[in-house]
């Protein structure tokens, strides 16, 4: 199936879902959003609205909880609105929406992430350890935090004009092995620093790998969106409030231990990287999407014919189901892509 055909199916289900939601038929709307996700697991709008509807339909949900933010008035930015002018939406996820904006003081473009009220709860600032974790890291492979309003759940970041790996995957069939090796090295060099600072990203996926500029398709990679990051990469992540299960990242990239509801460590990031690298080589998800959404066991699609033994072995080690069978660290994994 061509990318155009897939996009057409996604658009059709989104339209049906929006119509059902407008009529108040929330269960039907959720069904169509999930069908859209069957064709595009990483679609930000379908993911966010499906998550909101699942919460809306869950027993015991508070009627006054407004769910995900569907529009952002300037008042939501508070004092920051006097400095930044919103231009357009860049992407939407389960935790927040990212906007392209103009910094009126420094005359530059920035990205502004605004946490959804349902995700942040009564205290938007509680999810902003993301900004503090990232702000403590100084590395060209980590997105830079420029401004912060913890009381409103607003984070201002550098705008990366080169787009995301998801954009580039949608624009072409697959990447050559040489480019995939470069991407692997770039991300692993960044993960060395991130994990060395005691941080696990927790949600590596093509949409969260950005590029500073165009040109060579997989150069200047930057790791972004630390929204589910946890501290202490050397030890398992701790459960959330009131014993809640650890957040498992994005379906299709989450390590098996996270999918099982268990805490993960830095090796979960290595698994996610292995899956997205396979996707780059194949030009498509290495899993059967329908099986993933149904919660069924989904074996990995074989690597393309002609993949070198060294590259295949490096990817297999990253994608091992058991954490103990993966490289022990980003540094060890990097040596396999030298």
Count the Cβ atoms, other than its own, within 10 Å of residue 202.
24
Q: How far is CA 234 from CA 223, 273, 327, in A?
A: 20, 18, 13
* Active-site residue, 65 included: no
CA–CA gap between residue 253 and residue 236 (Å, rounded): 18
Q: Can you tell me which residue has the tokens 């590596």? A: 204
Q: Where are the alpha helices (DSSP H) in 197-265?
A: 256-259
* Tokens coding 42: 């990483």
Distances (CA, A) of 229 to 108, 132, 212: 28, 11, 22
Q: Which helix (H) or strand (E) holds 88?
A: strand 84-92
Q: CA-to-CA distance for 165 and 216, rounded, in angstroms?
A: 12
**Exposure class string for 39-61: b at 16+ Cβ within 10 A, else e:** bbbbbbbbbbbbbbbebbeeeee
User: Of 40, 127, 203, 265, which is the active-site residue?
Assistant: 203
Q: Tell me the catalytic residues.
A: 203
């Amino acid at each position: 199936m061509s990318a155009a055909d897939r996009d057409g199916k996604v658009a059709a289900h989104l339209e049906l879902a929006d119509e059902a939601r407008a009529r108040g038929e929330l269960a039907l709307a959720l069904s169509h959003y999930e069908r859209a996700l069957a064709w595009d697991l990483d679609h930000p709008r379908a993911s966010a609205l499906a998550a909101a509807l699942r919460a809306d339909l869950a027993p015991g949900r508070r009627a006054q909880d407004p769910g995900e933010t569907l529009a952002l008035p300037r008042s939501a930015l508070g004092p920051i609105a006097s400095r930044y002018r919103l231009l357009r939406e860049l992407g939407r996820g389960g935790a927040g929406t990212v906007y392209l904006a103009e910094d009126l003081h420094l005359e530059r473009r920035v990205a502004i992430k605004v946490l959804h009220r349902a995700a942040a709860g009564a205290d938007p600032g509680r999810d902003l350890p993301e900004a503090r974790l990232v702000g403590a890291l100084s590395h060209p492979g980590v997105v830079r935090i420029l401004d912060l309003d913890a009381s409103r759940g607003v984070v201002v970041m550098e705008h990366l004009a080169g787009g995301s790996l998801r954009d580039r995957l949608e624009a072409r069939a697959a990447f050559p092995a040489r480019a995939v090796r470069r991407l692997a090295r770039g991300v692993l060099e960044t993960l060395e620093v991130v994990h060395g600072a005691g941080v696990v990203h927790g949600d590596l996926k093509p949409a969260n790998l950005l590029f500073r500029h165009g040109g060579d398709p997989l150069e200047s990679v930057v790791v972004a969106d630390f929204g589910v990051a946890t501290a202490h990469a050397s030890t398992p992540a701790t459960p959330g409030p009131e014993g809640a299960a650890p957040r498992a990242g994005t379906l299709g990239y989450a390590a098996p231990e996270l999918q099982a509801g268990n805490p993960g460590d830095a090796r979960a990031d290595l698994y996610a990287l292995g899956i997205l690298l396979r996707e780059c080589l194949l030009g498509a998800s290495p899993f059967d999407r329908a099986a993933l959404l149904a919660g069924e066991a989904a074996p990995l699609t074989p690597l393309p014919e002609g993949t070198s033994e060294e590259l295949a072995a490096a990817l297999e080690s990253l994608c091992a189901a058991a954490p103990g069978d993966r490289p022990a660290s980003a540094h060890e994994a990097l040596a396999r892509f030298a």
